[in-house]
Amino acid sequence: MQKGTSHAVGLLVGFALDRVFGDPRRRHPVAGFGVAAAALESVTYADRRVAGLVHEVLAVGAIVGLGVAARRGGLPTTVLATWTVLGGRSLARAGHAMADRLESGDLDGARALLPSLCGRDPDVLDADGLARAALESIAENTADAAVAPLAWGAVAGVPGLLGYRAVNTLDAMIGYRNERYLRFGWAAARTDDVANLIPARLTGLLTAALAPLVDGRPAAALRAWRRDAAGHPSPNAGVVEASMAGALGIRLGGRTHYPHGVEQRPLLGVGPAPTVHDLRRAVRLSEAVQCAAALLAAAIAAIKR
């Protein structure tokens, strides 16, 4: 089997494993990286941007180096690396579970589930607020948990798969604008922005193209992207959330509660606030986008290599 074909097959098989099994239940390598990164932070932390940059280079560089060494393993290594870094199936499961709890009126259960999707304050949210928070998380994490790692795997192989997941994990750990991480986490946040710049826009395009699968219109998704995405504080989340809002014909954004306080997010899309039915539509669209991204990544890998 030629190298390019082998890499393409590895991406598809790894994606299939994620679709069937979801994240590994025990001893997840990403969790192990998080533990190691936290230990490294105890040594590298200082309230300065340069300290955060050193932390980023050491943590991500080590994982990329591991990926360079591991790629000699060929097809099995690509399969395992792809399965390890993807989180699309677990994302869809959480979305459906949230919809189930909201439909049954189990607000306490829905609030308990929300932290697995996003970092909002669930205690102050009613059913509509929980549906909106979950839907916005589904939109953003379609890019972060599936499209972006597949894209990086297509163009940079196993080092790209592992390196992207390290970048994204560090951003989730320290890329905050609070007192501790405003300066130390700056490099992690900016690196994640750059790493997701193209994948987020690819996600937006796929969301628009596949909108008819959930009775949406591609033109509406693209219109919401052009009109509303730039107002979002994230250069990438705005693209995927606005595209999803337009594809579903709903409105996202507005007053947003976090543990550290309340933010007024720009409105994305035109239409009513999302319902539980819209959350299920978003999950279906997310899964379709993930499948399309996997096929596209395999095609790029086969041609490139």
Residue 32, judged by CB atoms within 10 A of its CB (0-12, 13-18, 19+), counts as: exposed
∠ Cα 5 10 14 (to 5°)? 155
Collect all residues with Cβ–Cβ distance below 8 Å to 56 and sequence separation of at least 6.
170, 187, 188, 191
In percent, the amount of the chain with pLDDT more than 70 equals 96
Q: What is the pLDDT of residues 12-53, one digit of tens each?
A: 999 999 999 988 766 778 888 999 999 999 999 999 999 999
> Phi first, then psi: what are they for 294, rounded to 5°?
-65, -45
Contact status, residue 245 vs residue 237, Cβ threshold 8 Å: no
pLDDT at 259: 64
pLDDT at 25: 67
Q: Please, which residues bridge with residue 255 across strands?
A: 264
For 209, the 3-state DSSP assignment is: helix
**pLDDT band at residue 262 under the 50/70/90 scheme:** low
Determine the Cα–Cα distance for residues 284 and 305; give it in Å rounded to an integer. Answer: 32
| Domain segments of the chain as ranges | 3-304
pLDDT over 80 (residue 6): yes
pLDDT at 257: 65
Over residues 59-80, the mean pLDDT reads: 93
Please state, rounded to an integer, the average pLDDT across all residues of the chain: 93
Contact status, residue 49 vs residue 186, Cβ threshold 8 Å: yes
Contact status, residue 158 vs residue 67, Cβ threshold 8 Å: yes
Over residues 219-236, the mean pLDDT reads: 95
Q: What is the pLDDT of residues 94-138, one digit of tens each?
A: 999 999 999 999 999 999 999 888 877 788 888 888 999 999 999
pLDDT over 90 (residue 155): yes
Alpha helices in the chain (DSSP H): 3-21, 29-44, 49-70, 75-85, 88-103, 107-113, 127-142, 148-174, 186-195, 197-210, 218-228, 237-248, 276-304
Say if strands 261-268 and 252-258 run parallel, antiparallel, or are unpaired: antiparallel
Q: What is the pTM of this model?
A: 0.93
pLDDT at 46: 96
pLDDT over 90 (residue 177): no
Ranges 124-128, 171-175, 241-245: which has the least confidence: 124-128
Determine the Cα–Cα distance for residues 256 and 213; give it in Å rounded to an integer. Answer: 29
Instruction: Classify each residue of 97-108 as buried b or exposed e, where b means 16 or more C-beta atoms within 10 Å of its C-beta.
Output: bbbebbeeeeee
Q: Which uninterrupted H or E stretch holds 253?
A: strand 252-258
